[in-house]
Amino acid sequence: MYQLTQLGHDLYRERLAHAQAQRPAERLLALARASSRAERAERRARRAARQARRLRAQLQAASDQ
């Protein structure tokens, strides 16, 4: 009985150590995904600003004629 209990504790400690080791890696992956999303959002915002300037210029040119 003692051996089974000891084995259970060992497995628990091993799994706990593995889970703790995985957490920093998961955080890094989440940070990388968040950074990628932020970069894509920034590119979309720049693209939208360029399009707005282009449309404004077209509107201004049309109203000047």
Task: Give me 46's structure tokens.
Answer: 């720049």
Q: Burial code of 41-51, b = ≥16 C-beta within 10 A, e = fewer?
A: eeeeeeeeeee
Angle ∠(53,59,63) on CA atoms, nearest 5: 145
Say what the pTM is.
0.59
Any idea how long the chain is? 65
Q: State residue 38's pLDDT score.
A: 92
Q: Per-residue pLDDT averaged across 50-56, rounded?
A: 96
pLDDT at 26 over 80: yes
pLDDT tops 70 at residue 1? no
Residue 25 or 54, more confident: 54
Task: Give mean pLDDT, residues 5-30.
Answer: 83
Mean pLDDT for the stretch of residues 12-32: 84
